[in-house]
Structure 1
Amino acid sequence: MSDYDDVWLIVPVYNEAQVICDVVQKARLTFPNIVCVDDGSRDASVSEIRKSGAHLVRHPVNLGQGASLQTGIEYARAQPGARFFVTFDADGQHRVEDVVRMIDRLRQEPLDILVGTRFHGDTSHIPWIKRVVLKTVVALSPRTRRMKLTDAHNGLRAFNKTVADDLDITINGMGHASEIMAIIDHKGWRVAEEKVTIIYTEYSMAKGQSLINGVNILFDSALRSSRR
């Protein structure tokens, strides 16, 4: 019996065969309940997920990270005893110890959702394009600043069942992170940040934020800001 049997990790997966089994198996040492949503991977991700012991849900075609998160949340919130939920990256960038701290805060404090922030202390290890994009996203978003959030596109989030039951992500691509911020604001959920450490490996950086994706995120943020 784990202290975290009421927690579900939701892991969107797209062509992560090289690392996903190791990422999941390490996380399962603390969090036994993990659902991986394979988003139409073309490599051996599905077989690696099955080896890892995680629950597996599959998209027959690639729909995007936002769609994978929504699928995973819908699966996890339907499980008996599920009370807390975490969005967790497949590429090894997120740390289990950060998740433990976030869940413990949710149990103890009057909060609905915690969003990770990498902007604390020395940020020199963060690739420059990420720093520029993420800081600009916050600068363009009055909503994010009003909620006192500094890293709206951090993929590490922990939330309770109130949020899980009412979260409806409709943007399939990378713009889902901005949509989640808008939903939090609209619903009036109690939100705070948690300082986390993102692990930038050679593998994760090779698969990570490209300049084109960064521009797309900035465009999406600017468009949403103009509509407020």
Structure 2
Amino acid sequence: MQMRSDTWVVIPAFNEAPVIGGVVAGVRSLFPRVLVVDDASDDDTAAIARAAGAYTATHPINLGQGAALQTGFEAALARGARYVVTFDADGQHDPAEAAAMVARADEENLAFVLGSRFLDGGDARVGALKRAMLRIGALAARARTGMALTDTHNGLRVIRADALAHVHLTHARMAHASQIVSQLATCGLPGAEHPVTISYTDYSRAKGQPLLNSVNIVVDLALGGR
């Protein structure tokens, strides 16, 4: 695959020192422009990310993943990004799948491509409670936006600059996922889902707090993602 110099990969991170170096190295094998937004970690996340070749921005206080993404979006657009990829810091995503999503956006003239664990009957390997909450989230997004999505809480996304100009995240924490979908739905530009895999490691499972995330999805639905 070709190196995508027109693309910035934004990685929001909080206390990811054990894995961030490997995540950055993997991403930089395909994307030279990687920005890690350190959301006031109290470990060496930012220093390790820089040593692995990433640019970094650091919040002075912890503001949440949505705020970290918004910081990254603004920085990437200011530096002329054609595409921005959102990528989780815990090692769950595959950089090759991100590259395939950017290539698809190019080939099909798509303004956004959203990763899905459930598209085409994919095996997401998530617990029953979280799977149910994710499906409820997808149904709620469909009712709210008219977009027939299968996975609205997947951290792997590709957003073209003209679509990203319509994204202004004000929900700092978990509700940002629905807010991104809602704002993309109103931009009037074409998009699609793309099947992706999630690598659930012991580290990512411990970091992800699956039960808490299921509760957060319910809160997200209550907020409506506006």
Describe how 1:133-144 pairs up with structure 2 within 5 A: 133-143=133-143
Name the SS of the counterpart of 1:141 in structure 2. helix
The change in CA–CA distance for 1:6 and 1:223 in structure 2 (over 3 A counts) is closer
Shift of 1:168: 0.8
Aligned residues: 224
**Distance apart, 1:211 and its partner CA:** 1.9
Any idea what the Cα deviations from partners look like across 1:28-72, whole Å, max 9, x if unmatched? 011100000000001111221121110010001100000000000
What are the residue-to-residue correspondences of 1:93-132 with 2, within 5 Å? 93-120=92-119, 121-123=121-123, 125-132=125-132
Partner of 1:44: 44
CA contact (8 A) 2:122 2:195 kept: no
**What does residue 88 of structure 1 align with?**
87
Structure 1 segments of 4+ aligned residues over 6 angstroms from their partners: none
Separation in structure 2 between the aligned mates of residue 157 and residue 45 of structure 1, nearest angstrom: 22
Alpha-carbon distance between aligned partners in 2 of 1:123 and 1:37, rounded to the nearest angstrom: 30
- CA positional deviation for 1:218: 1.2
Check 1:62–1:108 CA distance in 2 against 1; reply closer, same or farther (3 A cut).
same
CA distance in 1, matches of 2:68, 2:223: 24
Q: How does 1:16-55 map to 2 (within 5 A)?
A: 16-55=16-55
- SS of corresponding position for 2:96: helix
Residue pair 2:175, 2:219 contacting (<8 A) in 1 also: no
Shift of 1:203: 0.3
Counterpart residue number, 2:64? 64
After TM superposition, the structure 1 = structure 2 runs for residues 1-12 of structure 1, keeping only pairs within 5 Å, are 3-12=3-12
Q: Report the TM-score, using the length of structure 2 for normalisation.
A: 0.92
Q: CA deviation at 1:223?
A: 4.4
Contact 1:12/1:36 (<8 A) preserved: yes
- Report the Cα distance in structure 2 between the residues aligned to 1:98 and 1:144, rounded to whole angstroms: 28
Q: Conserved in 2, the CA contact under 8 Å of 1:169 and 1:179?
A: yes
C-alpha deviations, 1:95-143, integer Å up to 9, x for none? 0111111011111113110100000435262233321220121233344
Q: What RMSD, in angstroms, separates the aligned Cα atoms of the two structures?
A: 1.8
Counting aligned pairs with the same residue, the percent is: 43
Secondary structure of the structure 1 residue equivalent to 2:57: strand
Structure 1 runs not aligned, ≥5 long: none
* TM-score between both structures, scaled by the size of structure 1: 0.92
